[in-house]
Amino acid sequence: MSFPVVRNRRLRGTSALRSLVRENQITVNDLVQPVFVTYGTNIKEEISSMAGVYHFSLDRVEEEIKEITDLGIQAILLFGVPEHKDAQGSSAFDDEGIVQQATRRIKEINPNLLIIADTCLCQFTDTGHCGVIHHHPVTGQADVHNDLSLELLVRTAVSQAKAGADIIAPSNMMDGYVHAIRTGLDEAGYENTPIMAYSVKYASAYYGPFREAAHSTPQFGDRKTYQMDPANGREALREAESDVVEGADFLMVKPALAYMDIIRMLKDNFDLPVVAYNVSAEYAMIKAAALQGWINEEAVVMETMISFKRAGADIILTYFAKDVARYLQR
């Protein structure tokens, strides 16, 4: 008895054939480039653990914005490194804070560039935590106070929107943060400002280089009481569903590379745009291997990007955005 041979290889024979039947594509419109702005003058300082990523002072940020714009990238995620820190992270919601000043400056350079403002307190608190620390009156245990933190996060979001941020991206993982920020923005007259929720943010080991970049390493303990356990998958649906109900406009998965199953889970269960955050250590590992000559950087980066799309990501937030945009121009 003979069986028919399925000739799948017929559609792989030439580059043109492969392009014709390709299921997923990467375009420059998929990309968001993170940008780090700091105080001082004449600063363009490479972050030691993230080759090719820099801190820029306000007087030099135009260099980065011009490069991003010339590459056709239409959105950035803006992080600020403050001049001072305190228990409440007050410079986060100061109208003259580093993120607010940078937002206004970038809008002067390119009014059409979408600015996604990271809305968290960890860079601004002297504890390095994402909210206000509360000491339990009986046990003395220190933990982040959810509701007090929400009040300050709302003030931060409103201040960022007032400065000109196009999208608010709360990365703090406080319970009820989308509802609180949506209400605060609406009451302040920013009802058309979308929220890119960090819906599924794991307590991950992949954040190390970012914490160097943002100067946001916790001074004690960790963030496992408010970020998700990497062992949990179904919990991601609960977190995302609560953000949808509370008014989120985008759903993010962070990190992306080790959580492709979660990206697919959100894509299959919700009809909002899904954002994959290709985080700092994912970037740093590829860069380090490429510098050693162990891998073909471009090939590995592009395979990684297409895997995010295949998993279901609509938007890819990545430190490789400029690199990918250059590859696409060839």
| Residue 201 annotated among the catalytic residues of the structure | yes
SS (HEC) of the chain: CCCCCCCHHHHHCCHHHHHHCCCCCCCHHHEEEEEEEECCCCCEEECCCCCCCEEEECCCHHHHHHHHHHCCCCEEEEEEECCCCECCCHHHCCCCCHHHHHHHHHHHHCCCCEEEEEECCCCCECCCCCCCEEECCCCCCEEECHHHHHHHHHHHHHHHHHHCCCEEEECCCCCCHHHHHHHHHHHCCCCCCCEEEEEEEECCHHHHHHHHHHCCCCCCCCCCCCCECCCCCHHHHHHHHHHHHHCCCEEEEECCHHHHHHHHHHHHHCCCCEEEEECHHHHHHHHHHHHCCCCCHHHHHHHHHHHHHHHCCCEEEECCHHHHHHHHHC
d(CA 327, CA 125): 39
Write the single-letter amino acid at 287: K
d(CA 328, CA 330): 6
d(CA 266, CA 184): 26
Per DSSP, what are the bridge partners of residue 317? Answer: 32, 277
Catalytic residue among 44, 107, 162, 201: 201
Catalytic residue among 66, 85, 224, 254: 254
Crossing angle of helices 260-269/297-311, nearest 10°? Answer: 30
| Residue 254 annotated among the catalytic residues of the structure | yes
Q: Which residues are catalytic?
A: 201, 254
